Amino acid sequence: MQRRNFVKLGGAAAALQLLPSIGFSQQGDVFRIGSLTPITGAGSPYGPGMQQAIRMAVDEVNAAGGAGGRKLELFTEDDQTKPDAAVLAAKKLIEVNKVQAVLGTWASGVTLAVMPLTDAAGLIQMNVSGAPAISTLDTKDLVWRFQATNDRFGAAFAEICTKRGFKRPATMAFNNASGLGNVEGFTKAWEKRGGKVAAHVTYEPSRPSYRSELQKILAAKPDVIVMGSYLPDTTIILREWFQSGADTKWIIPGWAANPDLVKALGAEVCEGIISVDTVSNEKSASYAQFDAAFTKATGKAASTNIYAAMAYDMVISLALAMEAAGPKATVEQVNAKLRDVSNAPGTAVFTFAEGKAQLAKKAKVNYEGASSKLDFDKAGDVTPDFGVFIIEKGQLVRRDVVSITM
């Protein structure tokens, strides 16, 4: 399914094969960044904050004199959390705005749709999507993921099930790359621990009811249901579950089990739900600086939008790679420096200005991000920690932090 979706979009990529690969020399003293975030659609609770974080980071880099002898110029588009809309927006960024990097895609389906375009144009693409297929289809090492993969989420779900003593889990997944990736990752990790999944259902989007799918799951008598879902479908499923009177625990990704879910269903329905999301690098100086700036700009703490710190780190790490690559470097040369400036070993730096100063001294730097330590593996993925939040009296209360190894 994931690969077919990717190939289906090949026509759009083929059209871009006729475009020249964009290098810095074509852009003079400006490096153009395209922000492609979900201002509307399912990702809208996070997209505006992500866009603001990208803008903040661009301003920070420019205030420090730019990167690699160039100022950053920002162009923004709304991907609408829809692959088709994202493709049109990405084509505008690439063909009209002549960007050299596309940052901020949220939904896996959107990232998978945009990848053929950025790949064909030889551009850097940075995202917060979870689908494992993103890594396997990134054959040019141009795609960088700042969020945990869905299989990492699945491994975290399995660790939480073990720690909480669940014995008979079942799974429900929204039929797309992200939803299936979550529960497939969980199943793999759970079976590796010697467990078995009692039942599984894959359900389709935009349905008015999921009662039949829910009944199939409840018939297996699970003690916990692990979800790969989004807010709209989760809302319907939990409402119908509560009406059934069943006594089952839930483990749900944080983008679906959030304050908006409580608003939609009420505190009684949501009581005891386990919400899991990655946690930022909260003890770092980079996070403290970002949190203060984000709060000033938006009136909201950085903790209210986990993806904002990731979007901010995209620009800072990219700018440090530009600085490390030096003046007149190509996109390919800048891309090759991303691991160098983000991974250990190296002098730990927490802002762009600190990193730029160290690079001027010919030192190797290790940017400790606001979102995570940003140690990219060979697939361009990171492994942050996971917060375990319990909904108690209508509030999400963090009760644990889970670390995993991949």
State pLDDT tens for residues 358-390: 999 999 999 999 999 999 999 999 999 999 999
In a domain, 356, yes or no: yes
User: DSSP letters along 114-163, please?
Assistant: HHHHHHHHT-EEEE----THHHHT-TTS-EEE-S--HHHHHHHHHHHHHH
Whether residues 191 and 274 fall in one domain: yes
State pLDDT tens for residues 164-219: 999 999 999 999 988 999 999 999 999 999 999 999 999 999 999 999 999 999 99
- Residue-averaged pLDDT of the chain: 93
Under 8 Å CB-to-CB from 250, ≥6 apart: which residues?
Answer: 224, 225, 227, 238, 257, 272, 273, 274
Q: Quote the pLDDT of residue 28.
A: 60
Alpha-carbon gap, residue 171 to 163, rounded angstroms: 18
Under 8 Å CB-to-CB from 245, ≥6 apart: which residues?
Answer: none
State pLDDT tens for residues 52-99: 999 999 999 999 999 999 999 999 999 999 999 999 999 999 999 999
Q: Which is higher by pLDDT, 173 or 13?
A: 173
In angstroms, the Cα distances linking 401 to 156, 157, 159, 202, 388 are 10, 12, 11, 29, 6
The count of domains in the chain is 2
Kindly state the DSSP code that residue 67 receives in the 8-state scheme: B
Whether residues 250 and 185 fall in one domain: yes
Domain range holding 215? 150-278+385-402
CATH number at residue 272: 3.40.50.2300
State pLDDT tens for residues 329-364: 999 999 999 999 999 999 999 999 999 999 999 999
Whether residues 291 and 334 fall in one domain: yes
- Predicted structure pTM score: 0.85
For residues 383 and 404, the answer to whether their CB atoms sit within 8 Å is yes
In a domain, 250, yes or no: yes
